[in-house]
């Protein structure tokens, strides 16, 4: 393989820098002097190149250089421009490419290395993956003080081969630029943990949350040389939150090295004080919540059956006040409007928390934001919490509503209150918006009442990051609810100070961390082309099995693009546009006496085979794919719309034109 001249010179430069870094030239001079002294007679002091290389090899210097010249590909999600290869394909490992990291010498860093895993007993029987074989993978996702990292995927095994390093910046925002180089005492007051989430991706690309762990990193402040090794036992999630799933070997190191380390007694005392302070605040809030609940029940005995949720369990089975799952979240340049935020949340996958065994019961599990985003799917509560946080970030007064849908199924959705009193419901699973106009049950029958279009039946409580209200109106039916939140006869509020004591950032060491959103790593054009090509192959094979030939019309396929763009625009903005041009173009492309049929369909995953199987279940789509007639021409167009966190809206349109034979 020949390299272009600019790449060759770049490679030479990297090797030269590495040799300088390892002081290889100095070591070669030492070996040279030693070899001349030991192995050559004084009368002829001449060495050949072969002699020198042999001496270097014997002393292991060449091996050291080769080892150090590992090239590590740790390209971040944002930097991928070409089509990312599926992480589930494992071929012979290429030498990784060394990615340079800009280190500010005036700042303090925590270098966290994951040096492999062990005792992942669920994968004890899994064989070694063969080169090129598709297999399930583990990926670690980390979050620390507004910084996010992702490990390279490794094959699932009893001892997964994790070997990744993450450089975490440690700084104190509140002290300004003068505190860039924080000392050990200041760092001891930074109680943010490193949140580690382990995700398993199966051979079909489906993700599963395996473990969620909060790592206390400050033990490194009392370690000799500023280096410590810890074995982290990961526990399962949900119903398995007490069961060990495996152990990670982690090495923590401070950069630059601390001039003065703390004593273990100091760090342990600090941890003890933080736990004590957190426990006391949580105890006081629990006492207040119990008193609030007693008062709420005394208003009306039927309140006992209303869905008033004050606490919720996270993926580790730990109870938190529901208000701590919400925080104003700004998406930077990734999302431009509240409606686009609603669209983004709706294309994240929906999956109820898994329950072992039958009974039809719903497993209670509100995921932390990092676990939800890394898995790319979650329950309706996860979607509602994220949407509410984003709408608050856009400056709206938003609340999460807890209530029921038809047939009494528990559900959560989002509500915004306008400055003019307008109440809008946002369905986080679909992105739909509904205007709420209450029905007055005291009106005479002749008065025309608004017909509700939303699917919600009852509402028990609403909350955001600062407020909590219990519904104490005579009926909890949504259609008759009046959302005058200042009227305490209709909505019983909780104390804002009590909520703030346990839910505001930094209030306690157990407050849930909120990671920033990441840009998509999916190249929309490449993903669209790949899915379209796979669908063409699947359609051709399907028609071949039916004894039909397949002729593709590329021009007609291209003409379907505006329709797909219009469908996505309508989902995002509720505005339909461009339909006239699409219809006109299709009329021009379909000759007189020919029939045109089209079938659009929408998915939130990029698995072409799964999408094709779903399409065939629709009689309209099957009619197009299996079209018989004279001069049949088929068309298919795929358009992938990317959103933050690599979430995708995938629109597919199948079409055909054929000559009508009566």
- Architecture in CATH of 109-262: Sandwich (2.60)
Q: What is the DSSP letter of 476?
A: -
Q: What is the pLDDT of residue 495?
A: 94
Say if CB 124 and CB 158 are below 8 A apart: yes
Strand partners, 142: 149, 196
Asked if residue 87 has pLDDT above 50, the reply is no
Asked if residue 482 has pLDDT above 70, the reply is yes
Q: What is the pLDDT of residue 127?
A: 73
524-659, CATH topology level? Pathogenesis-related Protein p14a (3.40.33)
Question: Which residue ranges make up each domain of the chain?
Answer: 5-72, 109-262, 273-353+363-503, 524-659
Q: What percent of the chain has pLDDT over 70?
A: 82
* Interatomic CA distance for residues 291 and 285, integer angstroms: 10
Say if CB 430 and CB 602 are below 8 A apart: no
Asked if residue 163 has pLDDT above 70, the reply is yes
**pLDDT, tens digit (0-9, with 9 covering 90-100), for 373-424:** 999 999 999 999 999 999 999 999 999 999 999 888 999 999 999 999 899 9
H-helix segments, 141-241:
184-188
Asked if residue 78 has pLDDT above 70, the reply is no
Mean pLDDT of 590-614: 92
Q: What is the pLDDT of residue 54?
A: 73
* Interatomic CA distance for residues 544 and 557, integer angstroms: 20
Q: What is the pLDDT of residue 637?
A: 96
Of the candidate ranges 82-91, 340-349, 579-588, the one whose mean pLDDT is the lowest: 82-91
CATH code of the domain made up of 273-353+363-503: 3.10.620
Question: How would residue 106 be classed by pLDDT, with cut points 50, 70 and 90?
Answer: confident
Q: What is the pLDDT of residue 633?
A: 93
* Interatomic CA distance for residues 28 and 21, integer angstroms: 14
Asked if residue 48 has pLDDT above 50, the reply is yes
* Interatomic CA distance for residues 392 and 142, integer angstroms: 25
Give the contacts of 646 (CB within 8 A, at least 6 positions apart).
77, 376, 518, 520, 521, 522
Rg (CA), the chain: 31
**pLDDT, tens digit (0-9, with 9 covering 90-100), for 521-567:** 999 999 999 999 999 999 999 999 999 999 999 999 999 999 999 99
Asked if residue 245 has pLDDT above 80, the reply is yes
Mean pLDDT of 321-346: 94
**pLDDT, tens digit (0-9, with 9 covering 90-100), for 257-303:** 888 888 999 999 999 999 999 999 999 999 999 999 999 999 988 99
Positive or negative, the CA dihedral 34, 39, 44, 49 is negative
């Amino acid at each position: 393989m020949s390299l272009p001249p600019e790449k060759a010179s770049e490679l030479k430069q990297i090797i030269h820098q590495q040799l300088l870094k390892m002081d290889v030239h100095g070591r070669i001079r030492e070996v040279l002097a030693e070899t001349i002294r030991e192995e050559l007679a004084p009368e002829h002091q001449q060495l050949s190149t072969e002699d020198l290389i042999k001496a270097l090899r014997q002393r292991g210097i060449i091996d050291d250089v080769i080892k150090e010249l590992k090239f590590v590909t740790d390209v971040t999600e944002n930097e991928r421009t070409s089509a990312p290869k599926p992480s589930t394909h494992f071929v012979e490992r290429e030498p990784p490419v060394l990615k340079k990291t800009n280190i500010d010498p005036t700042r303090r860093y925590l270098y966290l290395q994951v040096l492999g895993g062990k005792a992942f007993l669920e994968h004890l029987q899994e064989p070694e993956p063969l080169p090129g074989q598709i297999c399930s993978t583990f990926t670690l996702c980390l979050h620390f003080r507004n910084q996010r990292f992702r490990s390279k995927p490794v094959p699932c095994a009893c001892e997964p081969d994790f070997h990744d390093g993450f450089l975490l910046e440690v700084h104190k925002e509140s002290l300004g630029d003068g505190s860039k180089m924080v000392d050990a005492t200041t760092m001891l007051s930074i109680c943010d943990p490193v949140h580690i989430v382990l995700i398993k991706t199966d051979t079909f690309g489906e993700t599963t949350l395996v473990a969620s762990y909060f790592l206390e990193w400050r033990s490194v402040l009392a370690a000799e040389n500023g280096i410590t090794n810890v074995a982290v036992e990961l526990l399962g999630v949900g119903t398995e939150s007490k069961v060990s799933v495996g152990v990670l070997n982690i090495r923590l190191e401070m950069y630059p090295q601390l001039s003065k380390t703390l004593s273990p007694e100091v760090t342990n005392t600090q941890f003890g004080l933080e736990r004590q302070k957190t426990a006391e605040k949580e105890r006081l809030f629990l006492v207040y919540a119990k008193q609030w609940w007693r008062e709420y029940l005394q208003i009306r005995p039927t309140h006992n059956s209303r869905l008033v949720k004050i606490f919720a369990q996270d993926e580790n089975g730990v109870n938190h006040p529901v208000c701590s799952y919400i925080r104003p979240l700004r998406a930077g340049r990734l999302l431009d409007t509240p409606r686009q935020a609603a669209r983004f949340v709706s294309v994240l996958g929906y999956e109820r928390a898994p329950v072992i065994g039958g009974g039809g019961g719903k497993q209670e599990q509100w995921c932390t934001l990092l676990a939800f985003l890394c898995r790319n799917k979650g329950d309706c509560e996860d979607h509602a919490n994220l949407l509410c946080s984003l709408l608050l970030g856009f400056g709206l007064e938003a609340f999460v509503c807890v209530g029921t849908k038809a047939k009494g199924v528990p559900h959560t959705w989002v509500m915004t209150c306008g400055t003019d009193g307008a109440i809008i419901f946002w369905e986080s699973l679909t992105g739909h918006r509904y205007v709420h106009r209450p029905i007055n049950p005291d009106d005479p029958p002749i008065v025309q009442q608004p017909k509700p279009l939303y699917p919600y039946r009852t509402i028990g409580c609403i909350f955001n990051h600062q407020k909590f209200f219990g519904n104490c109106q005579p009926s909890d039916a949504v259609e008759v609810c009046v959302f005058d939140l200042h009227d305490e006869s209709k909505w019983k509020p909780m104390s804002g100070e009590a909520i703030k004591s346990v839910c505001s950032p930094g209030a306690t060491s157990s407050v849930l961390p909120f990671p920033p959103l990441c840009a998509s790593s999916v190249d929309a054009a490449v993903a669209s082309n790949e899915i379209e090509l796979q669908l063409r192959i699947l359609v051709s094979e399907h028609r071949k099995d039916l004894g039909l030939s397949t002729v593709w019309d590329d021009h007609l396929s291209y003409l379907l693009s505006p329709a797909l763009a219009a469908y996505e625009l309508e989902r995002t903005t509720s505005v339909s546009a461009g339909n006239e041009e699409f219809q006109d173009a299709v009329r021009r492309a379909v000759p007189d006496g020919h029939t045109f049929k089209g079938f659009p369909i929408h998915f939130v995953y990029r698995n072409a085979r799964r999408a094709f199987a779903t399409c065939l279940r629709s009689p309209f789509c099957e009619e197009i794919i299996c079209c018989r007639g004279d001069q049949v021409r088929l068309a298919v167009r795929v358009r992938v719309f990317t959103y933050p966190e690599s979430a995708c809206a995938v629109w597919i349109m199948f079409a055909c034109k054929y000559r009508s034979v009566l």
